[in-house]
Amino acid sequence: MTKHIFVTGGVASSLGKGLTAASLGRLLKQRGLRVVIQKLDPYLNVDPGTMNPFEHGEVFVTDDGGETDLDLGHYERFIDENLTRDSNATTGSIYSHVIASERHGDYLGKTVQVIPHITDEIKRRIQLLAGDDVDVLITEVGGTVGDIEILPFLEAIRQFRLDRGRDSVCYVHVTLVPYIAPSGEHKTKPTQHSVIELRGRGIQPDAIVCRSDEPVGEDLCRKISNLSNVPLEAVVSAPDAGSLYEIPLVLHDEGLDDVVCEILALDAGDPDLGEWEALNAKVAAATVPVRIGLIGKYVSLVDAYLSVVESLNHAGIHHGVDVEIEWIQAEDVEGLLVADRLRDLDGIVIPGGFGPRGIEGKIAAAGYARENEIPCLGLCLGLQCMTIDFGRNVLGLERAHSSEFDPTSPHPVIDLMESQRDVDDKGGTMRLGAYVAQLQPGSRVREIYGEDVVSERHRHRYEFNPRYRQRFEGTGFRCSGESPDGRLVEFIELDDHPFWVATQAHPEFKSRPNRPAPLFRAFVEAALRRAEGRNPQLLQVDAADGE
């Protein structure tokens, strides 16, 4: 029977519940256990798909087309498992289901209430991922203890131990132990109040993860243990780590996975952390600087590009380089071009996005990279901007654009497919989730992937306009990957350029710390070569083995 771990948080948001859940998942997986992770979000949106990136950050897309919370990206990267849309549930989706069921008559006229109907639906969502093929299901509850909107989730997970039995459920509480500089000491009071609030909801934590900027000493851990009724060995110090990928090792050294296995009566051996330790050694050794300009619309909130950043870091680890990201507001690009400030970059990434703001800056950056032989990687909207640049400035297609941004363009090189035009629901026109692409023999992307057919995840509505394909091809611009039926362009590249490659997909969603996404790996290699050419003092790195 599947065992359950519930991760809650207190005092403040963004303490690292998601990373704690992901790290614990990795530790349990390294013990030979089959692990799945999910996120329960208390906001009323049905999913993050239409939420403002400045508020919510990145929308992480699963293979089956789920638009989910960015924490699922952490989960996938740490446990190296592809999750599904069922790994993310929101208050909005839960209430929508319950209301639809009531309208359908499923409750036989009963009064529909938060308890039991909403809590039962929450428990049903949790149980969807349990089964004979899952040893441990880790569920992160978003928000913080004390929030009004989190109460039904706390009630549901409280009931879970009654339903499943004491040794089938473990509660892990992540809380803040702040350091007060004037007094020169850590304070446990926020943690005490957080635990009191959680116990007031009927949940006694089995383990407490103490987040702080510096290690929490044993005396303070003992104080927290006494006041929270949690054994001393289950009060874990989790100070800030130099790298995300150190966190599993830190938590293991503190014994969190041992405590969880004991509480859940899991018969599992010690974790094999050799691969993870080797990864962290490579992280520490990645010191050769490479400057990458990320031309974005949401750069004031870096979480909006979380998977892109992590994919660049994965490729950097592979090649032994330290990727230094220059956050460049797309609307500022044209001014930067006048000042020639992009010339010092070793590579440029043009990521995805929606809406017209900053589009001309992205197009200008694509053109600058093309003309100055700066490695350039386009992702989703990035492919569209690179196509527009080439259409305007090489093929002479005046006012070439996307019909999304200029419906009156005489040359809509990016457009909706005919099958999408009559669909009123914008969500209905989206290509979401994993799609297969056939790579052109002899192309750079075929060489990068080492396969004829690849699958990447998508999240977009507009496509390369097939009516213009003949005008582009044969000019040095190559449509190097397409859908199996040949209708959709999935990859483009430029001949005789160090690296000017784009995809309509989001390969960043499948990148792993020990297995970087192929396009990112090749892009960082090209950027490293440019860095070495501009600065011969840099160490020569063997890109084939990352040494």
For the annotated catalytic residues, the residue numbers are 380, 506, 508
For the chain, the distance separating the N- and C-terminal CA atoms, rounded to the nearest angstrom, is 44
DSSP E strand boundaries for 330-429: 347-350, 376-379, 401-402, 412-415
Tell me which residue of 417, 388, 404 sits closest to 355, measured CA to CA.
404
Rounded Cα distance, 469 and 471, in Å: 5
Tell me which residue of 33, 508, 520, 522 sits closest to 267, measured CA to CA.
33
3 state DSSP class of 277 = helix
Are the C-beta atoms of residues 372 and 497 closer than 8 Å to each other?
no
Contacts of 540 (CB under 8 A, 6+ apart): 532
Give the neighbor-by-neighbor strand order of the sheet with 207-212: 88-90, 35-41, 136-141, 3-9, 169-176, 207-212, 235-239
Contacts of 341 (CB under 8 A, 6+ apart): none
Rounded Cα distance, 237 and 55, in Å: 30
3 state DSSP class of 119 = helix
Tell me which residue of 233, 166, 251, 241 sits closest to 204, measured CA to CA.
166
Rounded Cα distance, 235 and 243, in Å: 22
Q: Is 108 left (phi over 0), alpha (psi -120 to 50) or beta?
A: left
Rounded Cα distance, 154 and 134, in Å: 23
Tell me which residue of 438, 428, 452 sits closest to 487, measured CA to CA.
438
